[in-house]
Chains A and B, each alone.
Chain A
Amino acid sequence: MLQIKKLQAGIEDKRILKGIDLSVNAGEVHAIMGPNGSGKSTLASVLAGRDGYDVTGGEAIYNGSDLLDLAPEERAREGVFIAFQYPVEIPGVNSAYFLRSAVNAVRTHRGEAELDAMSFLKAVKEKMKELGLSEEFLKRPVNAGFSGGEKKRNEILQMAMLNPRLAVLDETDSGLDIDALRIVADGVNRLRGRDNAQVVITHYQRLLDYIVPDFVHVLHDGRIIKSGDKSLAIELEEKGYDWLAKEAA
């Protein structure tokens, strides 16, 4: 589904990603771990197409086409979803309206009929129940005045409604208490399927108790320095990142 080869990128003159190789197939869950400043969030931003990040080398092929060539909204419509670490507040814009517009943008792109207000509401209320969100939520402006936990759950709600093929979760666990973490993880697990894949970026092993990855990669100084299965995450939790960094050096 996604083949990243020798990907290099940075902001202005600062090199951050120094050659990432990563292959993600449908049906897989990959965890990317690493200390602060290793390039985890930059990877998510580059995959999303955020302005200001310059790709200086390598490629990212998504379902056979060059992902980096597409505009951010085209990537989204092709099924790439980023759950943001810091979801943005959009005052004045009603959450339900926002989400329905997004769902219909993706549906139109796929050649499906737009959801009318009634069927949208029915679908979204079902998902909200699963995520433990009150219906009041739909009437509020997008993320405005939301608590940290509400924002993260809103990301998961959007993900559930958009049903992406490739979901990248950028430190979705940060700032969540254990109950919220469980709800978020449930939401992600419910989405797992044969046709889609998830890349879970996290600083802590904690989240991986709930979202069990097929592969774990350690990112350090812009490179993946070690890959393994979920036991690698447990090892990291015990020993920290330093031993790996030394090994890599």
Chain B
Amino acid sequence: MSAQTDTIDQFVASDYKYGFVTDIESESLPPGLGEEAVRFISAKKNEPEWLLDWRLKALRHFEKLKCPTWPHVNYPPVDFQDISYYSAPKKKGDGPKSLDEVDPKLLETYEKLGVPLHERARLAGVAVDAVFDSESIGTTFKADLAKAGVIFCSISEAVQEHPELVRKYLGTVVPYTDNFYATLNSAVFSDGSFVYIPKGTRCPMELSTYFRINAANTGQFERTLIVAEEGSHVSYLEGCTAPMRDENQLHAAVVELVALDNAEIKYSTVQNWYPGDEEGRGGIYNFVTKRGICKTNAKISWTQVETGSAITWKYPSVILQGDNSIGEFYSVALTNNRQQADTGTKMVHLGKNTRSTIISKGISAGKGQNSYRGLVQVGKKATNARNFSQCDSLLIGDRCGAHTFPYIEAKNPSANIEHEATTSKIGEDQIFYCNQRGLETQDAVNMIVNGFCKEVFRELPMEFAVEAQKLLDVSLEGSVG
């Protein structure tokens, strides 16, 4: 029935309300990748010799690598010489010493994004590190955190203030040789967050980093490192937005998590980079490597809500090295218009009695392509490893696609691995049923989508669960006529 497909055909781009540009004077490196750029960044940050050497090794390794072609995504080759690897708001004098000295324009930008940096205006109990292009512009609640012994600052600052910690852990989970984009990141990473939770400490508040790309033709290469000492606990959240531009921009981040014995790290992401327009013009290429390592009895839990980016390519993973350690991955990935996502996780079971849970919810609308790719690996010594995976796909309309690529490698016969997958479609009949009960079509779609994502939203910290739900509603706005 033609009239039926018509209503679903009317999938159009929603308004991306974070698409504005902040007019601020910035200092950028001319486009081009090479030793000069790497040395510039390193010098800019006044880095010690060992870090510069590490960057240069990564650069040399990168020159030998080829861009991977296995992801189920399509895009023209990226010209790495055409990207600027460093851009930061111009500092007056020595740069701001506290938030009070930060350029008001920057504070205004974060205000507009719904992330006011003034501590009084912030949600009680959430500390924020704000990263603008290549630089962290400020971190809130530092003093309060310091009382608990928690270190929360930009990674550049950590290199200066706590070089021994950075040197001990940087690259231990994601080595500079890991993969194409992680290697690139190792060479040119500019900023990101650093978190250190001392032994036996429960971090007194939620930590979060808000990433903002502003400058044109720049890539953002942030590097985040979180170390949770024995018996500690931390919950961390990151959010991301970027202006609307017709050109694609590259975002290649690396996140490393280290959970020592009995520690727990909960890492949540609400990713809303500019997705490009209806025709697929512009948008962020989000090529990210995220991985954590669990020692004995440790737990790492990844929760992600991915609604933005033209292309998303990321697999937050957990290496379950210690006995009895636990890895979790909860994901909602939405692709609308011409967005493409190839996302999932790797759970590597090495220790005995290790457990992992994977819940992946893919939503495809418009001409969006959504792939789940996951690896569950059980090593020889991982006696009694258990995994449960559930991958559900929801299709809206008939021009989108959902794909599932589950890989299982079990080398221990005691492994217990379960995989469930479903694909469903929001039907015209479901929408009509809701209409007949007085509900608008858009409300009906939101209701069905939110119902579909419930199991993942439940894992997000309370205030962010509400945000995520709203974000999903906005991303599907105008989706069905």
Contact = CB atoms under 8 A, between A and B. Distances in A.
Contacts of A72: 432, 435-436
A88 interface: yes
Interface in A43-81: 48-52, 54, 71-73, 75-77, 81
A172 interface: no
A23 interface: no
Interface centre among B433, B438, B439 (most CB of A within 10 A): B438
B436 A92 contact: no
A93 interface: yes
Contacts of A27: none
Interface string A87-125: 111111110011001100110010000000000000000
B454 A76 contact: no
A76 B436 contact: yes
A: contact size bracket: 35 or more
A148 interface: no
Contact of A88 (B4, B430, B450): B430
B67 interface: no
A94 B452 CA distance: 11
Contacts of B451: 90-94, 141
Interface centre among B6, B428, B430 (most CB of A within 10 A): B430
A11 interface: yes
Contacts of A77: 438
B405 to A, nearest CB: 24
A156 to B, nearest CB: 13
B433 A88 contact: yes
A90 B438 contact: no
Given A11-B1, A92-B451, A94-B451, A51 B430 contact: no
B427 interface: yes
Contacts of A49: 435
A77 B437 CA distance: 8
Interface residues of B, number: 27
A202 interface: no
Given A11-B1, A93-B448, A88 B438 contact: no
B438 A76 contact: yes
Determine chain B's interface SS by DSSP, over half rule. helix
A140 B448 CA distance: 14
Given A51-B428, A87-B433, A92 B438 contact: no
Nearest to A50: B432
A211 interface: no
Given A88-B430, A92-B451, A92-B454, A101 B436 contact: no
Interface string B379-410: 00000000000000000000000000000000
Interface centre among B1, B433, B439, B454 (most CB of A within 10 A): B433
B436 A51 contact: no
Nearest to A71: B435
A73 to B, nearest CB: 4
A184 interface: no
A92 B447 CA distance: 9
Interface centre among B428, B437, B451, B454 (most CB of A within 10 A): B437
A85 interface: no
A204 interface: no
A84 B424 CA distance: 22
B447 A93 contact: yes
A9 to B, nearest CB: 13
B79 interface: no
Contact of A162 (B4, B6, B427, B437): B437
Given A88-B427, A88-B430, A52 B3 contact: yes
Given A48-B436, A76-B435, A76-B436, A90 B448 contact: yes
A35 to B, nearest CB: 24
In order of increasing CB-CB distance, the 7 nearest A-B pairs are: A92-B451, A52-B1, A105-B438, A102-B437, A72-B435, A93-B451, A76-B438
Given A73-B436, A73-B438, A76-B438, 13 more contacts: A11-B1, A51-B4, A51-B7, A73-B440, A77-B438, A87-B433, A88-B427, A92-B448, A92-B454, A98-B447, A101-B447, A106-B438, A109-B438
Interface of B: 1, 3-4, 6-7, 424, 427-430, 432-441, 443, 447-448, 450-452, 454
Interface of A: 11-12, 48-52, 54, 71-73, 75-77, 81-82, 84, 87-94, 97-98, 101-102, 105-106, 109, 141, 158, 162
22 contacts: A11-B1, A48-B432, A50-B432, A51-B3, A51-B4, A51-B6, A52-B4, A54-B3, A71-B435, A76-B435, A76-B436, A76-B437, A81-B436, A84-B433, A88-B433, A90-B433, A90-B451, A91-B452, A92-B452, A98-B437, A109-B438, A162-B438
